A and B are shown apart, each in its own frame.
Chain A
Amino acid sequence: MNARDAILQRLYQGREQQGGFEPPASDFSVLQRPHWNKTKKLERFVQAMSPVHGEIHSTSRDNWHLLLQQLVRDKGLRNLWIGNGTPHGSFLADHWQLEQVPLLQRTQPVNEWKDELFNDVAAALTGSLGAIAETGSLILWPTPAEPRVMSLVPPVHFVLLDSDRLYATLHETIQQEGWAKNGMPTNALLISGPSKTADIEQTLAYGVHGPRELVVLVLE
């Protein structure tokens, strides 16, 4: 018998010997939050994200690119990687005025330019599917235009967040968006702040393997 069948047989037999067992009912009501309106959700999001060093700016749908340019200049970033063919990427490319800071757009697979990515890319901009207020978590489903490493390898990650797409809790997100029913993407992410560690004597240090800075632009 192969390992698979042996393990399964043992499990089926074990349960049968015990005459099966009925688990208690799962009551999810404890996860419910009192109804939070948009303002409250935004407030909670900021409350949860700020202590873990997420940088949050609120801006408008038409002028976010101006704020972004200012932040890029203030932080002294050498370049900015943007997604290919996304609406926000194209918009930014059309309106970009910082001549000394090139916008990087890449169509080739990441491993073909890994060296450059790991050594030279200073920052990246991605969109998001929304955010979870309770825990201050951005929801990202990477796409061919905005691959997984965009939110992972460059030292600074800028994220656009539509203020109409805030959920109260993870439970609500999964239910409302029908994640289970509609199927999951190859990679789905919740990102709550910049990368960090406390592995050296409980002392927090930011930017261990992922981005040192996470900058959220909330579009109102």
Chain B
Amino acid sequence: MSTATDAVKHFTPRARAALDNPAVRGNFRKAMDGLMSKRQDAFADWDLEELRELGAAVRLRALSRLPELLEQLERNLQANGIQVHWAQTGEQACEIVRDICVARNARTVIKGKSMVSEEMELNAFLARSGIEALESDLGEYIIQLADEAPSHIIMPAIHKNTTEISELMHEKTGTERSSDVDYLTASARAQLREKFMQADVGVSGVNFAVAETGTLCLVENEGNGRLTTTVPGCHIAVTGIEKVVEHLADIAPLLALLTRSATGQHITTYVNMISGPRKTDEKDGPEEVHLVLVDAGRSAIYQDRELLDTLRCIRCGACMNHCPVYTRIGGHAYGTTYPGPIGKILMPHMLGLDNTGSLATASTLCGACAEVCPVKIPIPQLLQRLRSEAMDGDPQRPATVAGHGSKRRWLEMLLWRGWTVFNSRPWAYRLGTALITRCRRLMPSRLGAWTRYRSAPRPAAQSLQQQLRQRQCKES
């Protein structure tokens, strides 16, 4: 985690660098504009409010019964022949995956897209154990070639344009330089096909885990997820514990919301529902299927009724597509696995507020994210709560999030104390304003970060009270 926390701590310089990079800004602007309009079109003949209401209700029902549903999921998966593992931390989850690989003498792992595996830093962990993990989603494949992290949870390579990708593929894999996307895609397909045939284990994420039937539901467009979960002899799915839903019927509204919110598609090319390993008479499919249920901070979020709304998230990415901050600074500036609004409300729980100090404040609270969120997570409200937690600012409700109070500074607290006295005692107020108006020329013109983009405020020659009093005198 140390590399991860270092990256977050440098949020401000990264954001500045991103703002100064017109190429990256252009790539994001173009992509986000496209995604926003596609989403809008996809919901054109829907009662979107009603549908979001249902999405939120379905997720809340699942969360209200979270421990029972996890137990039911485990029972039904096991009855279907799927092995279930539990991990409290990302590292534990990595160890579980490694142990399964080792038990099968696996040297190569092919991966479908999984943000939880990114969160776990699984590829690096496996590499240290001598196991090669290759990403097969085209976007993930590209950023793996570049040795970068995803900059978007749905479109991991969105920060790169075609020329950059062509150059990268030429350098790393020897394909011809080309601006023909079909050619680039075909080259990647050819290289990955070989790997699919050889891979010993397939690792994927999960979009919804259905407790009622013991079914893992995965959505994708490319078919790499299906190959990952079909061709190798062993399939390991990794997922956060919050991804469980109660009924199979619950996936209908969630799917309707997920794909339209994410990419403006009415449905993805493939919806892949896995309820067991290969049966004896079947001709393909993995002999072994495992599910690793990862906590990594989620059960801590579950302790608080307000904060647990964070766990409703279905990872559609719409909040980042609509975020004015994300669109301008891009995904890498955040330095966290999950960027954008969802990252701001999720990562502080995973890394601690002390390590993610700027995230909750890097928002204008414009509310666009909450307006589009398919499961109606009140993101701005949660950001305010986290800001308060970082300051230990609410005497009514003791702060609980890891690293709370890390932004509390004695000088600032002293100033606010003074502010309270100043405003609640008339004599202090009168004295104070008199002093300020008299000494207004002493106001420094530089006030730290405030004056980097703004001019310093200059107190008026007369306070509002003085002006009003004069006016009253004149009138009478």
Contacts and interface: CB of A to CB of B under 8 A. Distances in A.
B125 interface: no
B232 to A, nearest CB: 10
Contacts of A171: 249, 252-253
A143 B60 CA distance: 36
Contacts of B106: none
Contacts of A27: 50, 53-54, 57
B223 A208 contact: yes
A199 to B, nearest CB: 4
A52 B269 contact: yes
A26 B59 CA distance: 10
B399 interface: no
18 contacts: A10-B295, A11-B299, A21-B305, A24-B53, A118-B197, A142-B282, A144-B283, A179-B213, A183-B275, A186-B279, A189-B272, A192-B267, A198-B221, A201-B165, A207-B186, A208-B138, A210-B269, A211-B223
Interface stretch (A59-67, A68-76, A92-100, A103-111): A103-111
Interface string B268-288: 111111111111011111000
B275 A22 contact: no
Nearest to A191: B270
A196 B222 CA distance: 5
A210 to B, nearest CB: 3
Interface in A184-211: 184-203, 205, 207-211
A114 to B, nearest CB: 6
B224 interface: yes
A200 B281 contact: no
A4 B86 contact: yes
B96 to A, nearest CB: 9
Contacts of B230: 148-149, 152, 187
B260 to A, nearest CB: 10
Interface in A1-57: 2-4, 6-8, 10-12, 14-15, 17-18, 20-28, 30-31, 48, 52
B370 to A, nearest CB: 17
Contacts of A52: 269
Interface string B100-141: 000000000000000000000000000000000000111100
Interface residues of B, number: 101
A106 B283 CA distance: 10
Contacts of A180: 212-213, 247-249
A14 to B, nearest CB: 4
Given A180-B248, A196-B222, A209-B192, A186 B285 contact: yes
B28 to A, nearest CB: 11
B269 A194 contact: yes
A7 B30 CA distance: 42
Interface string B35-60: 00000000000110011011011101
Nearest to A52: B269
B476 to A, nearest CB: 59
Contacts of B277: 186
A17 B294 CA distance: 23
Interface centre among A8, A108, A199, A201 (most CB of B within 10 A): A199
A14 B304 CA distance: 7
Contact of A15 (B67, B185, B248): B67
B387 interface: no
Given A11-B299, A27-B54, 13 more contacts: A2-B86, A23-B63, A30-B50, A111-B233, A135-B267, A171-B249, A184-B273, A188-B215, A199-B222, A209-B136, A209-B193, A210-B269, A211-B223
B223 A195 contact: yes
